[in-house]
Amino acid sequence: MLGLVASLAGLGVSVYLTVVHYSTIALACPANAVVNCEQVLASSFAVIGGSGMPTSAAGIVWFVVSAALAAATWRARGPRLARVQLAWSAIGLVTVVYLVYVEIVLLGAVCIWCSAAHLMVLVIFLVALARLPEDRVAS
Amino acid sequence: MSSKSPRGHPMRRPVSRTPSWVAPVAVVASLALLVAAFLVIRWYTTPVAPPPLNIDAAQLVVSSITSLPASEFDAVGKGSANNLIKAVSGSLLTGSNGRPEVFYFGAEYCPYCAAERWPIIIALSRFGTFSGLKTTSSSSTDIYANTPTFTFHNATYSSQYIDFAAVETTDREQKPLESPTPAQQALVSQYDTSGSIPFVDFGNRYASSGASYLPDVLSGMTWQAVADSLAQPGSAQSKAILGSANLITATVCRLTADQPAAVCSSSSIQAIEKTLG
């Protein structure tokens, strides 16, 4: 249940950031020496491979799949599904680590909306991790 | 009644030796360590802002970068510069002396403005003379922190070919510094639709938003080191800064009807002029 809620929350954040990217809507975000969403989202790292497609669009895809996996594991428990969910969330977590590296080391600024999405990925990973031994014991 | 397996061994649920909370806690702790490591790396790799040069030292650097031989500009050509200059339409923008005006709009904190000032100063010095340029660096807390540069604040420019006006909206701490006139603000609103700085209007004939090269080329360098690097046509700084300066020079040559000929008739400037819209 927690994994599904986190997936939907992350999806909401990703959708918001993607809508802001493609529109003239101002991003609701404070700006100071540490937090600066504009600086992060205006950087070359905010788009996928110079394509113009925002990274948050990839976030939408990832959270949709994550929500589907969370819903599936909620309805039907099983070690294979749990492992798939853990693998998927591990991919997300590795990506998050890279993006946090970009924010802190390369840009020197943190985007709080991005951080919210990153936190959701971590929650999803921890849920998947916590579920795995439970399934292993039951099998 | 005791349960037994077919082989006679008692049935027993396997027991996980490690408590279930250990793995999640280990993950969170590892991530916290990673973030701490990132912060340390950031702290170590952020260049410290060099203290501004005194007036005499700054003037020496300006003299050095504005007295480069024409052969060096020709050798670099467009270099590694990204041409952001677009043709725009509007009535010719003239300055206080009635000449075509180049209007710069930026801020001292802005690293992209810091990068772009180098080629602007070099290019416009081929048409006239700056005085009162002081050294500064971009914000310590922004991307490309402490990029060495100059400020147009309180600097003056004289030329028999063009006029130059500059607005530095804030200092490197992002405190208000200068405000555009209503007419200048109208230019920004009309031509700088992306809202990016630096914005440069070339007489309402051409305009550019953003920097024509990335400021990381100047990372950790002193003003003198940048000036020294410009004496070498093959350096990354020359390719970026002199390439950008050539783009600006060619654009200004369009405004001045290719005057002065000593500057505008060079093969590299003529070649770039042909690529302008």
DSSP 3-state assignment of B22?
helix
Taking the CA atoms of chain B, what radius of gyration do you get in angstroms? 27
Residue A17 has pLDDT above 80, yes or no: yes
Which residues on chain A are in Cβ contact (under 8 Å) with B38?
100-101, 104-105
CA–CA distance, B36 with B42 (Å, rounded to integer): 10
**What percentage of residues in chain B have a pLDDT greater than 90?**
77
Which residues on chain B are in Cβ contact (under 8 Å) with A109?
142-143
Beta-carbon-side half-sphere exposure of residue A120 (alpha carbons within 13 Å):
26
Span A17-31, mean pLDDT? 84
Name the strand (E) or helix (H) holding B137.
strand B134-137
Q: Is A5 on the interface with B (CB under 8 A)?
A: no
**DSSP string covering B28-46:** HHHHHHHHHHHHHHHHHHS
Q: Are A96 and A118 in contact (CB under 8 A)?
A: yes
Residue A43 has which token pair?
Answer: 């950087």
Span A44-70, mean pLDDT? 87
CA–CA distance, B26 with B39 (Å, rounded to integer): 20
Residue B249 has which token pair?
Answer: 């020079």
For A113-134, write each residue's pLDDT tens digit: 999 999 999 999 999 988 875 5
Please tell me which residue, A95 or B174, carries the higher pLDDT value. Answer: A95
> Are A104 and B42 within 8 A, CB to CB?
yes
Mutate to test the interface with A, among B15, B16, B22, B31 (most CBs of A within 10 A): B31
> Are A97 and B34 within 8 A, CB to CB?
yes
CA–CA distance, A122 with B38 (Å, rounded to integer): 18
Q: Is B35 on the interface with A (CB under 8 A)?
A: yes
Map tokens 């070690």 to a residue.
A79
Indicate the angle between helix axes A79-101 and B22-45, nearest 10 degrees: 20
Length of chain B: 277
Mutate to test the interface with A, among B18, B22, B142, B172 (most CBs of A within 10 A): B142
Q: Are B152 and B248 in contact (CB under 8 A)?
A: no
Map tokens 């700088």 to a residue.
B192
pLDDT band for position B15 (cuts 50, 70, 90): low
pLDDT band for position B1 (cuts 50, 70, 90): very low
Span B184-199, mean pLDDT? 91
The amino acid occupying position B238 is S
pTM listed for this prediction? 0.67
**What percentage of residues in chain A have a pLDDT greater than 90?**
50
Mutate to test the interface with A, among B21, B143, B170 (most CBs of A within 10 A): B143
Which residues on chain A are in Cβ contact (under 8 Å) with B27?
122, 125-126, 129
CATH at A114: 1.20.1440.130
Range of the domain at A98: 2-138
pLDDT band for position B140 (cuts 50, 70, 90): confident
Q: Is B34 on the interface with A (CB under 8 A)?
A: yes
Q: Are B100 and B94 in contact (CB under 8 A)?
A: yes
The total of structural domains in chain A comes to: 1
- pLDDT for res A104: 92
For B20-74, write each residue's pLDDT tens digit: 788 889 999 999 999 999 999 988 887 677 788 998 899 999 999 999 999 999 9
- pLDDT for res B58: 94
pLDDT band for position B277 (cuts 50, 70, 90): confident
Q: Which of B20, B27, B141 sits opposite A33 (nearest CB)?
A: B141
Question: For chain B, what is the mean pLDDT?
Answer: 91
Residue B151 has pLDDT above 90, yes or no: yes
DSSP 3-state assignment of B166?
strand
Instruction: Count other Cβ atoms within 10 Å, centred on residue B176.
Output: 9
Phi, psi at B139, each rounded to 5° = -55, 145
